[in-house]
A and B are shown apart, each in its own frame.
Chain A
């Protein structure tokens, strides 16, 4: 199926998310939409899928102009979408998810589950997906859930498949498998739109690349272009892709974690006997697929988990059992993985957000009252120092872009006397410019002799920042290895396998 988008414009209030975007996708090709977070790629695809209504422009499939009123129309026209956040019902089985909205029924609306199971098995076998129709979706690993999404689209005879940031939740191995699936689908004559901001993937599969920046098409790129060329096109200026850092100047053991165990509310052991040490002036980066205990580990360090055993000793002081406020006061800085939920109060101003971790005493509180003058002065200074692009310190944090929000969080956490920095997903959903800036700050923190724990599901980030890498799988350490370990080895370790000849690096 040949897709033509002509002059699509979509506005949200005064923000123009898509500015007259035109695009052609041919059958049997993988067409990459490359752009930074917030460039408008997902908005465009949601317009195509009927989730948003375009303000201007038209969608044409095989020469026929379409007028979608909802996703149902788009699906009927042969468009399938694999969403970034899976559109699957966790408590339903695979077969139920695949049939939903497209059910075959018998007498009085009785579901024909057998037909649905057969359909899943047929498609799964044809493409080698290994998906069992009776499995309940929430029990499946994300990689398999994604294949369920693909089956869902294929079961409706989709001829155009849209993959919206499909690799964000996958291990490197799963990503390679997905690439193979996409090539297979291409061979089968499907048209594929692949949305991403990861350059490596684009160059691996794309037949054509369209780059989008700030809601506009900036041009087509050759799949043979170098990373640097693609990145500068995406960002609009030359970009530093590697993080420059000197050899670490290691100090004494600063953070010593022994046999840490965290059990969550549902009774599952999420962190299972972790032991590691970080020395002063060192970055230990935690690699692993999301959901392997990283969140619980960082929250345990901050005293945010209830059921914690083992020991966490920072500069000789035991942290397990201490309240979060005590832990903060003992010099732990924390960049949480979800800034919208744990990092900021969206309805507070930038200045107010900057004092959240020091809301009890000086410098901003005196005799129970706020010292507004000191706070404003501090906020003005940090705004400049951390290059937060905002109108002024009284802007609401919720109105800032992702990158600027994250800079506010980083500014708050780094402007205290730290003894440990815990940075969870420090650059998730952040533009390339801000990523550069935040990485520099993390390295500067390490160079000032502070131990740093970085948690990231992006292997690139782990490799760029780490002095040593700790790989987690199902709450356990697979290994602590040196930063120059090959990516393939790390990817393998993220699936829980450990090469026999691999040595842990000493502290």
Chain B
């Protein structure tokens, strides 16, 4: 018989012992080496199968830079193989850590991803130019609706309401922004209208999901379909016949920020964007701060984790949930404004094209955390932009394959590439008061 002896800690005054420290299998430790291995093999096979001699130029400066960084020109194949080597070293390190049962650190996948991307790009753009600034600046711009949508998703789910209707909120926001900006001539009025539109969808969601306990996923999906139908109908019947007066919105102009915009590399990527992007930076910061550091955030998280406990300390659970998802809807709606006030100055049918679902994936990939979800959305934005950039410079990768890229990244991400994620405990569970 085995015996267990645990000294009762004196500092506990002989009270109950400390919680068990059970041996834990390093969860997800095996995943990283496997993914690394597959990626290295893929890159190496690609390089072997189709060799591209020539030089690749990485252009680091934007056209109007104050201090222009020089272009970097490297031999394509040599660089690519060098990067394969770096990746292989990272793979070796991850295998070593797996065998030794040590935690895989965060920098390992970052180094791997950077090296892999550099290798891939120098192969794909042989005898061509990669405009690094526009690659990243474009990624930020494309990620705008995804980030807004993901923030809306994070907020709603943190309060315990699953918001599948992000797609609908984006689309309705885009629609409302187009009409309002056309009528008033002010993009800011359009933005406010987009927020109202998003909140309106959230209100319907809340009515069914919170007040009438209808399954939240079903309500969300139905709302998306409803918004598609409604905007298609109004587009045909109202917007198309009056496109000059109702569907010619004044958009946000590009607005470089004086000093910040002149920082080499970072400036042109982050600070030569439209006002909507700067609003986004502020919203991300405010949401992240408020969720973890304020009374409001504490209560929102409490309601999403254990509504009954929140109720017993006098927090109005369903009121808190309503308020939170209305705010979340307004934030997601802002993302919709991007389509009609920044990307294209016109509303088109179903122009969001599933971005809301990708934002939903970013919520999960980002583990229900505003900053992580933002980073996830940026990654998806990057994948989308990469596809555009590569097909523009005539890369040897078929464009159909490239079009799949963002969705492929999404699937891998959601399939738990980053380890087990843990949603708020009461996510999607309506709260009934006795």
Contact = CB atoms under 8 A, between A and B. Distances in A.
B372 interface: no
A359 interface: no
B14 to A, nearest CB: 8
B16 A111 contact: no
Contact of A109 (B13, B16, B17, B295): B295
B312 A83 contact: yes
A59 B8 CA distance: 44
Interface in B400-434: 420, 425, 434
Interface in A89-136: 89-92, 96, 99-103, 105, 108-111, 128, 130
B25 interface: yes
Nearest to B422: A91
B19 interface: yes
B293 interface: yes
A70 B19 contact: no
Nearest to B28: A267
A111 B298 contact: yes
Contacts of A504: 1
Contacts of B108: none
B294 interface: yes
B315 A130 contact: no
B237 interface: no
Interface string A5-37: 000000000000000000000000000000000
A130 B15 contact: yes
B343 to A, nearest CB: 34
A83, A99, A141, A473 interface centre (most CB from chain B within 10 Å): A141
Given A130-B12, A144-B15, A474-B22, A100 B310 contact: yes
Nearest to A276: B1
A101 B313 contact: yes
A130 B13 contact: yes
Nearest to A74: B314
A89 B317 CA distance: 14
Given A87-B313, A105-B295, A474 B20 contact: yes
A140 interface: yes
Contacts of A171: 16
B274 to A, nearest CB: 28
Contacts of B23: 268-269
Contact of A177 (B11, B15, B24, B316): B15
B311 interface: yes
How many of chain A's residues touch chain B, expressed as a range? 35 or more
A267 B306 contact: no
A270 interface: yes
Interface stretch (A195-203, A324-332, A421-429, A475-483): A475-483
Contacts of A139: 19
A177 B17 CA distance: 13
Given A52-B434, A275-B1, A111 B293 contact: yes
Task: Name B's interface SS.
Answer: loop
A102 B299 CA distance: 10
Nearest to A101: B313
Contacts of B305: 89-92
Given A83-B312, A87-B306, A141 B4 contact: no
Given A89-B302, A109-B296, A495-B16, A273 B313 contact: no
Contacts of B26: 267
Contacts of B17: 141, 495-496
B64 interface: no
Contact of A71 (B3, B295, B314): B314
Nearest to A105: B295
Contact of B314 (A88, A101, A480): A101
B6 interface: yes
A492 to B, nearest CB: 10
Nearest to A474: B20
Contacts of A194: none
Given A72-B313, A103-B298, A497 B8 contact: yes
Contacts of B306: 87-90
A285 interface: no
B11, B295, B316 interface centre (most CB from chain A within 10 Å): B295
A109 B294 contact: yes
A91 B296 CA distance: 17
A86 B313 CA distance: 12
B27 interface: yes
A163 interface: no
Contact of B4 (A263, A267, A473): A473
Contact of B3 (A143, A263, A478): A478
Interface in A467-507: 473-480, 495-498, 504
A101 B315 contact: yes
Contacts of B299: 100-101
B18 interface: yes
A334 interface: no
A247 B11 CA distance: 45
A174 B294 CA distance: 35
A144 B302 CA distance: 20
B31 interface: no
Nearest to A140: B19
Interface string A259-289: 0000100111110010100000000000000
Given A91-B305, A92-B302, A111-B298, A496 B311 contact: no
B248 to A, nearest CB: 40
Contact of B311 (A71, A143, A144, A173): A71
Nearest to A71: B312
Contact of B16 (A103, A144, A273): A144
Given A52-B434, A87-B308, A498 B294 contact: no
B5 interface: yes
B294 A108 contact: yes
A365 interface: no
B295 A269 contact: no
A81 interface: yes
A152 B19 CA distance: 21
B72 interface: no
Contact of A478 (B4, B19, B302): B4
B5, B296, B309, B315 interface centre (most CB from chain A within 10 Å): B309
B155 to A, nearest CB: 16
A128 to B, nearest CB: 6
Contact of A141 (B16, B24, B314): B16
B1 to A, nearest CB: 5
A462 B315 CA distance: 41
Nearest to A493: B4
Nearest to A143: B16
A477 B2 contact: yes
A436 B332 CA distance: 60
Contacts of B4: 473-474, 476-478, 496, 498
B93 to A, nearest CB: 23
A51 B8 contact: no
Contact of A81 (B11, B16, B293, B312): B312
A70 B314 contact: yes
Contacts of B11: 130
Contacts of A152: 313
A103 B295 contact: yes
A442 interface: no
A364 B15 CA distance: 54
Contacts of A476: 2, 4
Contacts of A314: none
A88 B19 contact: no
Interface of A: 46, 49, 51-52, 70-73, 75-76, 81, 83, 86-92, 96, 99-103, 105, 108-111, 128, 130, 139-144, 152, 171, 173-174, 177, 263, 266-270, 273, 275, 473-480, 495-498, 504
6 contacts: A76-B314, A83-B312, A109-B295, A130-B12, A275-B2, A496-B6
Given A51-B312, A268-B22, A497-B6, 4 more contacts: A52-B434, A70-B316, A110-B293, A268-B23
9 interchain residue pairs of minimum CB distance: A72-B314, A101-B313, A267-B25, A87-B309, A143-B16, A496-B6, A109-B294, A268-B22, A103-B295
